[in-house]
């Protein structure tokens, strides 16, 4: 374990029910991050998606990957203080080549693996994949920018 949920909350502004990363398990600054989320039936999204056939929404998978990418971006910034991190946020700029390969259901451990395609200043372009049991369930190219709150 590299960062638990308490550590992640010191980096990202997201909170329940929209903090979608439980743990960061690997991080190489400027290169890659691996994280996961345990998908539970107690999540509010399953009240409406879908009551008798719970499927974790693809948009939530994309957001979870983006949040993992946000941790990577913040932890890749040299010489940044905790106070500076708390005054910044990561905004989506684009989502390209998004594909959903298999449904994600309660009980699944959703593993996010992202690698940096390109980084120029505050802008990050990431290759993102989500896995359940080492099988790709979703993928996309994400572009985001770190901005002041």
One-character DSSP codes across 44-106: GGGGTS-TTS----HHHHHHHHHHHHHHHHHHTSTT--HHHHHTEEEEEEEEEEEEE-S---T
Q: How far apart are CA 51 and CA 131, in angstroms?
A: 24
CB 36 within 8 A of CB 110: yes
Please say if 53 is a catalytic residue.
no
Annotated catalytic residue within 9, 18, 30, 49: 49
Active site residues: 49
């Amino acid at each position: 374990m590299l960062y638990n949920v308490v550590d992640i909350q010191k980096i990202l502004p997201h909170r329940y029910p929209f903090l979608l990363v439980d743990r960061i398990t690997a991080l190489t600054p400027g290169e890659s991050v691996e994280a996961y989320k345990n998908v539970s039936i107690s999540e509010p999204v399953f009240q409406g998606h879908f009551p008798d056939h719970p499927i974790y929404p693809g948009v939530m998978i994309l957001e979870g990957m983006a949040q993992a990418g946000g941790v990577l971006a913040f932890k890749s910034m040299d010489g940044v203080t905790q106070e500076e991190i708390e005054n910044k946020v990561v905004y989506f700029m684009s989502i390209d080549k998004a594909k959903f390969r298999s449904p994600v259901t309660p009980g699944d451990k959703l593993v996010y693996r992202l690698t940096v395609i390109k980084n120029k200043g505050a802008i990050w372009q990431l290759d993102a994949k989500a896995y359940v049991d080492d099988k790709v369930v979703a993928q996309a190219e994400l572009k985001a920018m770190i901005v002041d709150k």
